[in-house]
Amino acid sequence: MAMRGRGRLLPGLILLILVHCCTLASARTDDLTVTLSAAQPWVYLGKFGFTVGNQSTVNGTITGLDRVTEENTKGTPWLLLYCDVEWADVLEMPTTTYEECEAKRKVAREGEKLLTGYAPTGGSTGVFWKDPTGFDMHVFQSSRPYVWFAAVVDCSRLPDAPENKRVPSGVVSQHNLQLNYYQPDGSHLPCDEFGLPMLYMMCTIGLMGYAGFYFMQLQHHQSTTGQIHPVTACIGIVLLLQWFAMLFEQVHLWSLESSGKGSNFSNGVSHLLSWLATSFMTAVLVLIGYGWTITSDSLGHMLTSTLGGAGLMAVYGIKVLIMFLSYLGVIDSVDHAMYHDYENRGGKLVALLQFAVWGLFLHGCSEVSKQRANDNRVMSFMTSLKAFGSLFILAVPTVVTFASLVIAPYVRHRFVTIGILLIQLAGITGFAQLCFTRSVYFKLSTLGRSQLGGI
């Protein structure tokens, strides 16, 4: 009875997710809240890849969220579209003075719209009125697809702005921005995600097939040895987390392809599960590198008495802090830079932290190799561990760096997304095959010989 109940759980979950995605809106829409002030006159909004065509469209509305006063109806906010060829330079440009801010605004030569030019009817004084103000912009490109980055800027908020344009000191305004992106044919899937739903579905089905094979091996392993090795159990957990992450992301991509808005719920759950799977697997690899299940069967000892445990806690503590500060807006958002370009300080720090984890892993492998230099089985296993562990840990910074240098922006998202996924899965599956009964690792593992059931 219990098995039949569990068997109905997965189809029910998938059905719930699919029902959820059917309630989504019918446009590629970004709904944002933007704050403009002297300290933040320029705000990044998002990006979209337009294909070749006569007329791609960005339209929407902006609505003031503050009480209407004479002070907050002043200002000259612009909606800007920056082309991918100039985006790297734009991020380096400061906005501390009016002249610098205007220079940064004017780089968006192919697309900019003065939002105050669209005052609603009824006698309002401009964009900061409570009623929505509409805008419409068009992009023309014939040579190749381009990725366009949207931003909003109001240089008149800076203290050295011309007096006839300057917003009074200390005025901070909040606005709701709704942006709709349309391809020339009216569709809403960015060109850098063309074909991605199908590629992702193939990867999801492939992982499901391997996971089934893996759990068959795990069952045979248990029946042969009478126990479940903790590392094989950890790998099973990682495979499940990653598969569910891919399933939720698949639903998001289907929603994005069909409706244009996608599912924030599915996308958020996917990112969380993927982060958990990657972090968990990385921690397991580092701890094995420091000798867990090889020189010591105590996980607590590994965490409290080795550099690996302290290093992992420090690195992941910093990563969580970066994401938290980014969420609060204290540092630049890393949403558009963390995985596809190391375009700002947050993204670069994330990349450096991944290299720090790799350094921890290699240091642990080196220490164990020195302790067991005369044991050929350990040396053979450590060589394989370094290969598969490095493949998994360095997947993100390696693929992202290569893509940033070589791959065109309008195909970079597909390359990075699928490339990282395939390389990390290769690392996981390669290492998984080292952990079963006939492997060198199982024979030398201290926990492999224990009578305590492995966990």
Give 351-394 pLDDT, tens digit per residue: 788 888 899 999 999 988 898 888 888 888 889 899 999 999 99
How far is Cα 155 from Cα 75, in angstroms, rounded to an integer?
Answer: 8
pLDDT > 70? residue 321: yes
Give which of 88, 74, 95, 81 is closest to 136, Cα–Cα: 81
Phi, psi of 73 (to 5 degrees): -90, -5
Domain boundary among 182, 200, 227: 182
Domain boundary among 130, 155, 182: 182
275: CATH = 1.20.1070
Determine the structural domain holding residue 262 and report its residue range: 191-449
Identify whether 10 is part of a domain.
no
Give which of 424, 438, 430 is closest to 385, Cα–Cα: 430
Structure confidence at residue 343 (pLDDT): 57
Give which of 97, 24, 6 is closest to 262, Cα–Cα: 24
How far is Cα 89 from Cα 68, in angstroms, rounded to an integer?
Answer: 36
Domain count, the chain: 2
Asked whether residue 262 falls in the same domain as residue 353, the answer is yes
- For residue 94 the two structure tokens come to 């400061």
Asked whether residue 166 falls in the same domain as residue 205, the answer is no
Asked whether residue 277 falls in the same domain as residue 297, the answer is yes
Asked whether residue 176 falls in the same domain as residue 211, the answer is no
How far is Cα 241 from Cα 222, in angstroms, rounded to an integer?
Answer: 22
Asked whether residue 157 falls in the same domain as residue 214, the answer is no
Identify whether 19 is part of a domain.
no
pTM, whole model, 2 decimals?
0.70
Give the amino acid at 390.
S
Q: What is the DSSP string of 254-304?
A: HHHHHHSS--HHHHHHHHHHHHHHHHHHHHHHHHHHTTBTTTB--HHHHHH
Q: Which residue has the higher pLDDT, 73 or 436?
A: 436
Identify whether 368 is part of a domain.
yes
Asked whether residue 175 falls in the same domain as residue 195, the answer is no
When pLDDT is averaged across residues 93-116 and rounded to a whole number, the result is 82
pLDDT tens for 194-246 read 788 888 899 999 999 999 999 888 888 778 777 777 888 899 999 999 999 99
Domain boundary among 158, 182, 206: 182
Structure confidence at residue 296 (pLDDT): 74
The count of C-alpha atoms lying within 13 angstroms of the C-alpha of 235, restricted to the half-sphere facing its C-beta, is 29
